[in-house]
Amino acid sequence: MNIKSLLIGSAAALAAVSGAQAADAIVAAEPEPLEYVRVCDAFGAGYFYIPGTETCLRIGGEVRFTVGFGEDVGANSTSDWYSATRGRVFFDTKTDSELGTIGTYIRLQGNYSSAGTPSSAVSLEQAYITVGGLKAGKALTWWDDTGINGELDDFADASNFNTISYLYDAGSFRIGLGVDDLSGEYNGSTLVGGVAVPNNPGNELGIEGYAQVDFGASNIALRGVYDFEAEEGALYATLVAPVGPGELNVAVGWASGTTVYVNNDYEWTVAASYALKATDKLTITPSASYWSTQDNVDAWGVGLLAEYQLAKGLKVGATVDYVDVDNEDDNVSGWVRLTRSF
């Protein structure tokens, strides 16, 4: 009986301990429902909602590989050919608010080229905020968004500065005004904590204006800039019009003097091109340009660009350009390029 009593008592003790442990056990929480990425179609194709927010995000980019040719291409180069690779990635967000659409845009770009001294660099090419028609940050200006189809017209210099601008958009009519910080163009810059800080910043400011009127599928645009440091300005007018199976572009530019906004010390230029849509996938663009510099050196050139769509987001292109400059040898240059956009 003693053994039987002992066994019964031990079983009761174990049951009591097990019950106490069960009472103290941690119960795992039910898993939260998985939130799938939702498509955002309020701002066009390619956007999706950032989970847990009402902000729409679009991610994209481009990689292009170029093999070019020409006489002594690149700085300090005696080679007649070069290769270059460029990679871009961008992040574009948009959110509706009581102030209008709030947006941000960031684009990173890296280059590697064998022209001259081989170089490789990754930079913050653009980073800006938009609130309605207001834009503030490092951005490509309206002046940079000039030029015509083809590869000959380079009157306007690539201009992405710290800028603040406002664009009024009435649909078929747009007008804008902006102020650019040109300090880095005049004084150079130094990397501080990964940020390019202008050396000896002063009053190197520029002002830019933009106006465009649409006539159906055609438009006329006028861009103007003034460089306060150089005390010089420039104007650039373009016409874009569908003609037959292609698009006609005509441009006229003039500069009062040397300024950071204008390439190669140009004084004036006249250029035209016609992008012929030969097939659904093939576009052929002949172009011609005539220009003069501030030193009264005249030049003209003709070019031919062909681009073929291999697949969605993938195209191959080739161009050949001939340029004749007063009192200089004629020059023939061009490239073959493969571009993948996503």
- Residue-wise pLDDT for 219-267, tens only, equals 999 999 999 999 999 999 999 999 999 999 999 999 999 999 998 899 9
Cα distances from 26 to residues 14, 21, 23, 29, in angstroms, run 20, 10, 9, 9
Which residues, at least 6 apart from 158, have a Cβ–Cβ distance to it below 8 Å? 140, 144
Quote the CA–CA distance of 339 and 314 in Å, as a whole number. 6
For range 327-333, the mean pLDDT: 90
Quote the CA–CA distance of 55 and 94 in Å, as a whole number. 6
Kindly indicate the confidence band of residue 314, based on its pLDDT and cuts at 50, 70 and 90: very high
Residue with tokens 């380079």: 154
Question: pTM for the full model?
Answer: 0.81
What is the model's pLDDT at position 200? 58
